[in-house]
Amino acid sequence: MKYILEEVRRNEEKEKIPVIRMEIDYELLTLYDAMQVEDKVQIIKSKEKLKLLRKKLLSLLDN
């Protein structure tokens, strides 16, 4: 039973990977737009969000 639950958890994590990649792509576009208009506040926000998304993605890929 424990093996089955572990397998279900791994499958759920694998399904999250494409979603996180899409979020990263969107945030990169947001960062690019902020850089174009020199919006320093949005640049900082986007960079912080990208760091968090990167950590999430790496943790899912490590499992």
Q: By the 8 A CB rule, do 42 and 30 touch?
A: yes
Domain total of the chain = 1
At 2-47, the pLDDT tens digits run 778 888 888 888 899 999 999 999 999 999 999 999 999 999 999 9
Helix orientation angle between 2-36 and 40-62, rounded to the nearest 10 degrees: 160
Read off the pLDDT of residues 22-31 as tens digits, 9 standing for 90 and up. Answer: 999 999 999 9
pTM of the model: 0.82
Range of the domain at 14: 2-62
Q: Three-state SS string across 34-56, please?
A: HHHCCCHHHHHHHHHHHHHHHHH
Q: Determine the pLDDT at residue 8.
A: 80
